[in-house]
Chains A and B, each alone.
Chain A
C-alpha cells in the first residue's frame, strides 16, 4: 500500500527553555527514501527539534508526525518505526558489542532467528564483525559511532533521525558513513541528519533545512536555495592573452559586476541566467577574444549556509 503521508512531518513546532525560544515555528516534511540535511549554527535548535521528533521531549505547541503518527499522542507507535541516534554515546558497563546489539534487538521485540539476522545485518552493514566480543567502553570514537548507527538500524525503522553522526570520524570513516546513509535511503528510509560538516552533507542530501535561532530560514534542495538567496553566479574565464582588455570591454555590459582580472584569468559576477551567459560568450568570441575556459562556478553548501545564516547566537 502506498503511503499518502510523508514519513516525517514537523508541524509548527515551538519549544522554549525558560526565555530561550529554542524551536520557533518549525515545519517541514521528509518523504520515504529522502535524506534531509539539517544544518545550522551551534545552539540553533537542531537537537531540540530532533529530540521532539524522537518522542524524547515535548513541544509547547505544534506536533510532529512519524509515518502519520503523532509523537505526542502515539509515541508508542512512533517508537517502533523510528531509529534515533543521539549526539552522545549511551554505553553500558561490562557489555560487548554483540551483547549490546542483542539487547537492543530484544528491546525492540525481535525474537529468535529474526533477532540473529537483524544483529548480523547491522554488524555487516557497519563492519563491526571483528569487534564483536570487544567491551563497548573500550571502543574508539569512530567505532562507537558505527555501533550507535548499528543500534539505530537494528529494528529496520522506516525513519532514522541522526544527530551529528559524522562528528569525530576520520575522513575514511566519514566517506563510509556517507555511503551507508545513502544506502539506507535507497532502502526506502526517510533520514533526517544534522551535521556541521557541510561538504560531506552536500553529497548525500536530497534536501536541506537551514535553521538559526530556532527558526527555519530555508528549505529545499541546495540548488533551489542557492538560486533563491542570490541568483548571481560567478563566471571564470581564462584567455590565451592578457585578460585586462577583456575586463575593459566587459565593464560596459549588462549583468556584469565585480570584475577581477589576474594575468590571463578573469572573474566576475553575472546576474543573468544560462541563456544570457551563452550569449555573452558568443559576443566575447565575436569581439575577437580567444577564451580557452569559460566556467560558471556553482555555489557550495558552505556559501549558501554563510549567506542564509547571520551568525547570531541566542
Chain B
C-alpha cells in the first residue's frame, strides 16, 4: 500500500490537507514535491481507470471480483506455485553440478509445461463451463437474460474471465520458463510455440465449455455433457503433452522450410474454427425470434474460403501438377464438413419470425444473392449445395487446366483425371441426396412432432449410417447376394461406391450406371427441395412495427437538413 508521508495514512486524496507551513520546510520539500507529483498522476489516472472500468464487460468485472474472493482460485494458485518450486528444486538437485554443460533444459521445460498445461487445459475450460452452467442452476440465467446484456457480452464476459484466470496462471510460470531458457538445450522458438499452443488450447477449450453449457437447459443433458467435456479435456491434455514432447525432442524444428507453412495453415484453421464456434455460442444465447443463422453461414463461407486458399496456394507452388491427387482428399473434407453443417442447417425452422422478416433483402437481386444466407431449412440446403459446388467446380477447373477432365491416362500418381472428376461429381451428388432426403424426412416429421436441431442432426446420422450400412449387411447376409465385390446394391452406399471408384475397381458398366443414376437422383432431390425453397422464399419482408420505427427515431434522430450553399435559406420548421 502506498503511504502518505505527511499523515501516515493510506489516502490518495491527501494533497489539499497539507498545510502551507509544512510545505515551507526546506528539508521535506523535495520529498513532498515528489509525493505531490505522484498524487497528481494518481488523480489524473483515476478518471481513466473509472472510464475503463465502465467500459469493461460487466460479467468480467463481477467474475474477477468473485475469483479474488473464491477459495478454488487461491487453491489452484498456491498449488501451481508449489509445483513450480518443486520442479525447480527437484530439477536442479537431480542435474546437480553438471547443470552448466548438460542440455537438461528440455526436460525441465517439459516438466514446467506439464504444470502449466493442467490448469490451462483442464481447470480454466472447466471453470468456464461451470460458470455458465451454474447460472442455470442458481437461477441467475433468467436474470442475465432479462437484462440488456447482449449475447456477445455474455460470451465475451465468460471468455474474458477465462483469459484473466489464464494470465494469472501464466504469470506464475513465466519466470520458470525464462529460467529454462538460461539452461542448455532450449531455444526461444520452442518456448514460444509451446506457450502459444497451451494458450490457444485453453482458449478454444474454454469456448467449447461455454458451448456445452449453452447448448441445452435440461439438467440431465447437462450432467451427460459435463462428463463428456471432462473426458474431452483430459484427452486434449494428453494430446497437448504428447505434441509438446514431440516438439522438444525434434529439436531445431523451426529450421525446416515447411514449418512456417504448417504453423500458418494450422493457425488459419484454428482461427476460422474459433470464429465459427464463438458465433455459435453467441447465437445459442440469443433470443429465439432473432436471426441466428446468417452470421454463422458467413463464418462457414469464410472457413471454406480459407481452406480453398490454402489448398490453392499449396497446389500453385507446384504449378497445379498434383491437383488430381488433392481433389479426392479435399472433396472428402469438404463433403463431410458440409454434410455436418447441412444436417444442422436443414433443422432450422421453416417459418421465419416477423423479426427476421424485417431484415430480409428486399430487391429481387438482393434476394437472389443473399437469399442463400437467409435463415430457413430450404435456403440452408441450397447454401450447402452451392458451397460444395464451388469446391467441385474449382477442382474441375484445376483438372481441366492440367490435362483435361476426361483424361483417363495415368502418367504420374493416381487417380486419373477422369476418376478424380467423377469422384467430385458423385461426392457432391451423394451429399445432395442425403441432405435432400433428410430434409424431406424432417419436414414430414414436423407435421406430427417438434424436431430440434439435435433431432435433425441425428436423423441425418441415422440416414447416412443406414444408406451405407444396410446394403453392406444385405449383401453379406443374404446368400444369393453374397459377394466380396461391388454390386449394384451398393449404389446408395457412398463410402463403398466412392472408394471403389477411386481405386478403379468398378467395372465399366458399374461406372456408367453410377455416373448416370447417382447424379440423376441428386438432381431430382435438388429440384424437389428447390420447390420447398421457393415456398420459403415466398415469405416477404415485413415492415418494422410503427412503435419500433418511432423508438429508432428517438434513439437516433435523423440529422438536421443543412443548407447546401450559402444562399439557400434554411427552411422554417
> Hey, which bits of chain A sit against chain B, CB under 8 A?
5, 54-56, 58, 67-70, 72-77, 79-80, 82, 84, 86, 88-95, 99, 103-104, 106-109, 111-112, 115, 151, 155
Contact = CB atoms under 8 A, between A and B. Distances in A.
B366 to A, nearest CB: 22
A19 B545 CA distance: 34
A103 B355 contact: no
Given A91-B138, A94-B66, A76 B61 contact: no
28 contacts: A56-B142, A58-B288, A67-B547, A68-B547, A69-B545, A69-B551, A70-B545, A72-B289, A73-B289, A73-B353, A73-B355, A73-B545, A74-B548, A75-B287, A75-B289, A80-B148, A84-B142, A89-B139, A90-B142, A90-B143, A93-B70, A94-B69, A95-B65, A104-B147, A107-B58, A107-B149, A108-B148, A151-B143
B143 A69 contact: no
Contacts of A88: 139
A106 B61 contact: yes
B62 A92 contact: yes
Contacts, number: 96
B146 A56 contact: yes
A79 B58 CA distance: 17
A151 B355 CA distance: 29
A55 B289 CA distance: 11
A84 B146 contact: yes
Most buried by B among A55, A56, A74, A75: A74
B109 to A, nearest CB: 36
Contacts of B55: 111
A106 B58 contact: yes
A86 B145 CA distance: 12
A108 B54 CA distance: 12
Contact of A99 (B51, B65, B288): B65
A77 B65 CA distance: 29
B257 interface: no
B70 A94 contact: yes
B288 A77 contact: no
Interface in B105-145: 138-140, 142-145
Given A107-B149, A108-B147, A77 B58 contact: no
Contacts of A82: 146
Contacts of B354: 72-73
A99 B70 CA distance: 15
Interface in B34-71: 50-51, 54-55, 58-59, 61-62, 65-66, 69-70
Interface string B332-365: 0000000000000000000001110000000000
Nearest to A75: B287
Given A91-B140, A111-B54, A112-B54, A56 B66 contact: no
A191 B50 CA distance: 35
A94 B289 CA distance: 35
B65 A112 contact: no
B546 to A, nearest CB: 8
Contacts of A92: 62, 66, 138, 140
Given A72-B353, A92-B66, A106-B61, 16 more contacts: A55-B145, A55-B146, A55-B287, A56-B142, A56-B145, A69-B547, A72-B355, A77-B548, A86-B139, A86-B142, A86-B143, A89-B139, A93-B66, A94-B69, A103-B62, A104-B147
Contacts of B289: 72-73, 75
A107 B148 CA distance: 6
A57 to B, nearest CB: 10
Contacts of B147: 79, 104, 107-108
* 6 nearest A-B residue pairs (beta carbon): A106-B58, A68-B547, A90-B140, A107-B147, A94-B69, A90-B139
A234 to B, nearest CB: 45
Interface string B1-32: 00000000000000000000000000000000
Contacts of B547: 5, 67-69
Nearest to B68: A94
Contacts of B148: 76, 79-80, 107-109, 155
Nearest to A4: B547
Contacts of A75: 287, 289
B278 to A, nearest CB: 20
A274 to B, nearest CB: 44
A211 to B, nearest CB: 21
A77 B287 contact: no
B55 to A, nearest CB: 8
